[in-house]
Structure 1
């Protein structure tokens, strides 16, 4: 009887473990929901290209300088997305019994990433991305499946929280940049259209009004994309929290563990 009880306990533990790993794989499969952040990052990078036809000479000089800063910040802003997605993919692969190597690219990106205070990207966010990269490099040679998943989930808890916070913060900055672009473009059209009031300018005025409406529709749709991207980041964060509580209910101080990984004193 004790043998049967032991076998039953092992069987139940295996079923529970399989269910947990299935939940991890389902969570990892949600990584594409973060693609909106990547698309909006690209749009942010290309802001000046869209604004330029609507700028006065003075405004063009100002925006050209800002464009240089945007393009310099872009690789670091995208590195946040790359690190988070690599973390999710690593979890999914480990939960499937495989090993996933995020490659040298994410490691090199994490080494060079720096803070951009204007965007809201702080040293805390930079450290989170670097911490995720170090964790993923270590996870490639980690132990067996179930333990490897728990190790990555435990040690990645705080860095992922901070990295997702960085994405949320940067998305808010993108939204403000979007509003500023809209003000520049529609402001120029609103200023110039009333002057096209001569009979010979009727066609120009009609085309300008139609263009203005198209731009308003474009910006309205982009506003929805900003909202949706932020919602997806929040959904990933909530799912990660729930998964962590499910798999690691007794882990007392995740932040302290992360401090050890990052080389700090907990």
Structure 2
């Protein structure tokens, strides 16, 4: 009887140790899953034309309309890329944790995959990565807490996760460039019209235009900061998954846990800063 009790105690202790060893992995995966600023920036990118349309005319407006159709056609797929990464991280947190919950509905949203959008650097690799992530999630989404499951999931998921994160970073850079172009077009038009306005006859219009320039400048600058923070956060998420992949057999080591914990905290800080803007 004493031997049975001793074995039971050792099993419980071993189970608790495994949970402790994976606590940092859960933190990293949970913070990565919460990193949703990409969605907000993608929505802003989609709605570029609706903001710039009042300032456009002629050929410039026709070109902007055509580009607008491309953005809107790609929007759902651009969002699916983020959903794939987010659901992967939620599943990784679940596999590394003690609680069990279903993510089947979220997985259903990824079915059907995405299409390539060469204009936005979404190529065959991104399309395949979403498909691969979906297959990996279907396999691991109901897994119980165990270090072996985490090890295998990270090993299988690293390549498609890195591909999707690289695609998201590339898209954020496109969003940033689009924001800069919009800023130059809108502010350039306003400043040109102020320069040619009659200071006496159009005093009120000039004052309103200057106030509008100030407000738009703040908007564009805030967006610029968000793009830079989002890219930094995505870099940290990619770095974290690479680190887990490269050290997957050393998760119980103190230095590994410390490094993973720091990455999780860095991602949380960036996410918090983004949400405050």
TM-score, normalised to structure 1, is 0.83
Q: Distance in 2 between matches of 1:140 and 1:149?
A: 11
Shift in alpha-carbon separation, 1:108–1:89, aligned structure 2, 3 A: closer
> How many residue pairs are counted as aligned between the two chains?
249
Alignment of 1:76-87 (within 5 A): 76-87=77-88
Conserved? CA contact 2:96–2:145, under 8 Å: no
Instruction: State whether structure 2 residue 43 is matched by structure 1 residue 66.
Output: no
Conserved? CA contact 1:38–1:78, under 8 Å: yes
Q: Distance in 2 between matches of 1:123 and 1:99?
A: 34
SS of the aligned residue for 1:30 comes to helix
**Greater RCO, CA 8 A, separation 6+:** 2
Conserved? CA contact 2:30–2:93, under 8 Å: yes
SS of the aligned residue for 1:121 comes to coil
Task: Specify the alignment match of 1:176 in structure 2.
Answer: 177
Shift in alpha-carbon separation, 1:112–1:88, aligned structure 2, 3 A: closer
Q: Distance in 1 between matches of 2:233 and 2:145?
A: 31
Instruction: State whether structure 2 residue 27 is matched by structure 1 residue 26.
Output: yes
Alignment of 1:88-237 (within 5 A): 88-104=89-105, 106-107=107-108, 109-142=110-143, 145-237=146-238
Q: Distance in 2 between matches of 1:110 and 1:173?
A: 26
Shift in alpha-carbon separation, 1:116–1:21, aligned structure 2, 3 A: same
Instruction: State whether structure 2 residue 245 is matched by structure 1 residue 244.
Output: yes
- Structure 2: 5+ residue stretches without partners: 1-6, 251-277
Alpha-carbon displacement from aligned partner over 1:195-215 (angstroms, at most 9, x marks no partner): 222412100011101111211
Q: Distance in 1 between matches of 2:12 and 2:100?
A: 25
TM-score, normalised to structure 2, is 0.80
